């Protein structure tokens, strides 16, 4: 049992969890009726009503938005939000807290294995704008990944800004990759079957690691990139269309960027803006997921296109009714649960060598 991923909720967070559990029990018929009044984006996609409610509350309820103000408060709010969304999932066969030797000190990590057998290893980097997020905030999701993929999952708690600005997180992510390669045989796993994965900022780190190690003897077999940050300087239509009201805001993005890479000139470095890399050739196959109501949607689409143009096998899934952060909202959202099931199936397919089940057009 992991001690590092357990959080005792504060009274407000326990109340929030009670509200969320009740929301998660709304019948499908009622959700469908509510959905007919939910906002529609410029591409004709309609947001899931339960996620629209989260976006509205995040914007209008004082103190609920975790992406502003003091960093310590934001981190606490992010962890409590993740813990308040925790699901009751089957127990793990293996669950252990670890410490990785990092370039600037210990890197905490937690390993999850869902059963006695495992098909490989998935190295996971959590989201949170390089400033917030932790193994606590993403505990439920990585458990879902372990159950859904049949792989061991190594959840990595890399250094965060502003205490450790760019490239601190990148350095820790690369160190975690090398640890995974070294430790895989001791866990009875093939180091040639290691996936790199992450959401948002973690998706950025996952693909940056894949590029930085591409000339090494052992490289990732696959990339799972969930609404990844790919260009810190992006000014895209989706950032304008979803500037407010859908959980992640453009003000929140700037708050993260100012902490992570305060020197604006550095934001074109491909280690923080992988979309701007000169050469993406030779990277492992990738599955890119974007959300229909996410300010980061367009840069995720652009990155999938760049990978394809570079000759990288890539599949794209556009979850049109979802908002940023939906992988942490499975407690209340049937659509989010279905989306997570699809990405787990894509990882299994990739490692089994089967053809893509549901590839969407990247060219648009």
CB 140 within 8 A of CB 82: yes
CB 285 within 8 A of CB 343: no
Residue from 126, 138, 259, 324 carrying the catalytic annotation: 324
Angle at the Cα of 342 from the Cα atoms of 341 and 347, rounded to 5 degrees = 100
DSSP notation for 107-135: EEEEEEESSS--S-EEEEE--STTTS--T
> Buried (b) or exposed (e) across 119-148, using 16+ Cβ within 10 A?
bbbbbbbbbbbbbbbbbbbbbbbbbbbbbb
Residue from 74, 114, 155, 200 carrying the catalytic annotation: 200
- Would you say the C-alpha torsion 106, 253, 288, 292 has a positive or negative sign? positive
CB 133 within 8 A of CB 78: yes
Q: Is 10 a catalytic residue?
A: no
Q: Is 298 a catalytic residue?
A: no
Select from 193, 221, 220 the least CA-distant residue to 209.
220
Residues 142, 344: Cα–Cα separation, whole Å:
11
Residues 323, 333: Cα–Cα separation, whole Å:
11
Residue from 126, 294, 298, 321 carrying the catalytic annotation: 294
Contacts of 296 (CB under 8 A, 6+ apart): 200, 227, 228, 229, 230, 238, 239, 248, 253, 290, 324
Task: Take residue 41 and report the two structure tokens written for it.
Answer: 């984006």
Angle at the Cα of 211 from the Cα atoms of 205 and 217, rounded to 5 degrees = 120
Q: Which long-range contacts (CB under 8 A, 24 or more apart) does 336-344 make?
A: 336/48, 336/51, 339/289, 340/141, 340/144, 340/145, 340/148, 341/148, 342/317, 343/148, 343/224, 343/226, 343/287, 343/289, 343/317, 344/144, 344/145, 344/147, 344/148, 344/149
Residues 288, 270: Cα–Cα separation, whole Å:
18
Q: Is 190 a catalytic residue?
A: no
Active site residues: 200, 294, 324
């Amino acid at each position: 049992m992991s001690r590092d991923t357990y959080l005792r909720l504060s009274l407000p967070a326990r109340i929030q969890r009670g509200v969320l559990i009740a929301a998660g029990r709304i019948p499908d018929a009622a959700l469908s009726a509510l959905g007919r009044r939910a906002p529609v984006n410029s591409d004709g996609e309609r947001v899931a009503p339960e996620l629209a409610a989260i976006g509205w509350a995040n914007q209008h309820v004082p103190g609920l938005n975790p992406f502003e103000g003091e960093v310590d408060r934001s981190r606490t709010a992010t962890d409590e939000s993740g813990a308040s969304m925790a699901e009751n999932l089957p127990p793990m066969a293996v669950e252990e807290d670890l410490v990785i030797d990092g370039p600037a000190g210990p890197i905490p990590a937690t390993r999850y294995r869902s059963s006695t057998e495992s098909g490989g290893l998935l190295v996971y980097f959590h989201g949170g704008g390089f400033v917030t997020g932790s193994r606590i905030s993403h505990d439920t999701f990585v458990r879902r990944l372990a159950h859904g993929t049949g792989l061991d999952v190594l959840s990595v708690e890399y250094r965060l800004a502003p205490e450790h600005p760019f490239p601190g997180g990148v350095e820790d992510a690369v160190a975690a990759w090398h640890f995974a390669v070294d430790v895989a045989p001791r866990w009875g796993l093939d180091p040639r079957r290691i996936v790199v994965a992450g959401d948002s900022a973690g998706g950025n780190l996952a693909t940056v690691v894949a590029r930085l190690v591409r000339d090494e003897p052992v490289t990732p077999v696959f990339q799972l990139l969930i609404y990844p940050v790919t260009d810190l300087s992006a000014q895209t239509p989706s950032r304008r269309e979803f500037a407010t009201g859908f959980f992640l805001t453009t003000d929140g993005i700037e708050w993260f960027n100012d902490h992570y890479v305060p020197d604006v000139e550095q934001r074109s470095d491909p280690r923080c803006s992988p979309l701007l890399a000169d050469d993406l050739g030779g990277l492992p196959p990738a599955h890119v997921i974007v959300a229909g109501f996410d300010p980061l949607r367009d840069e995720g689409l652009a990155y999938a296109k760049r990978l394809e143009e570079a000759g990288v096998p890539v599949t794209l899934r556009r979850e049109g009714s979802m908002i940023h952060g939906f992988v942490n909202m499975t407690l209340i959202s049937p659509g989010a649960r279905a989306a997570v099931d699809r990405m787990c199936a894509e990882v299994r397919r990739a490692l089994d060598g089967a053809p893509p089940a549901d590839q969407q057009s990247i060219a648009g």
